[in-house]
Amino acid sequence: MNMMVRRKVPSLVDLCIRTAIDNVRYLGDVGETDIGLLSHILPHCTVDQLGHIEKCTEERDLSEVTDKLWKKFYEKEFGVKSSSLVVERMKQKKVSFKWSKLYEAKLKDTNEAQKKSVDRIKKLYQKEDARKQSRQVKICTKVPPSSNKRCFYGGPGTSNMKSNLMKKAKVECLNSIAPARKLGGFSGKDCASSSKPMQRRL
């Protein structure tokens, strides 16, 4: 005997819910949608999609459905320990905030902390690059020679050098003819004339 397998025929409401879930990315203002239907549809939204729907639905508070969804997003993004700490603090201070606002505030703090961390790392790299470049650059500190020093290849010191050489030659000449003076063979004029170059006789 063949057994007939009966399948439940989906109702019109089920078909609407399934269609809405398949096209949840296109949803906007759901202000007139039954809250029971939204409780089946909105859990299939991403963070951006849920935020978009709530912003579009300005005249209705959807937190009855969305608050627990935002708590799940918070736990998934920042951890169960962090969400438990938030709950404990709200109990201590006897305050209550929507989890959508808590999620936005925590996300902003996290992004700012990451940005500061990236900036610090960037500055460290820049400092290290500057240090490496400073090692490669060699500054020349050699001072050019002073003009007062003697110049052996012409220049201001040449005339002084010639004068000193002439004096030295004259003294050597006088010393060499000193014995001859005693004998009356030479005079001072002879020394002066001997320092001049001899002309070749023709």
pLDDT tens digits, 158-177: 556 667 777 777 777 677 66
The helix-helix angle for 63-78 and 80-93 (nearest 10°) equals 130
192, pLDDT greater than 50: no
pLDDT of residue 122: 83
CA atoms within 13 A on the CB side of 64: 11
Sequence-distant (6+) residues with CB within 8 A of 28 are 52, 53, 56, 57
Residue 103: name the closest of 63, 144, 150 by CA.
63
Q: Which amino acid is at 179?
A: P
Between residues 137 and 129, which one has the greater pLDDT?
A: 129
Q: Name 174's bridge partners.
A: none
Q: Which amino acid is at 48?
A: D
pTM listed for this prediction: 0.58
CA distance 32 to 86: 33
Sequence-distant (6+) residues with CB within 8 A of 187 are 181
DSSP state of 94: T
pLDDT of residue 147: 54
49, pLDDT greater than 80: yes
H/E element, 160: helix 158-182
CA distance 50 to 176: 120
Question: Considering all CA atoms of the chain, what is the largest pairwise distance in Å, rounded to the nearest integer?
Answer: 170
CA distance 154 to 159: 9
**How far lies 71's CA from each of 79, 84, 90, 145, in Å?**
10, 10, 14, 81
pLDDT digits (tens, 9 = 90+) for 75-90: 999 999 999 999 999 9
112, pLDDT greater than 80: yes
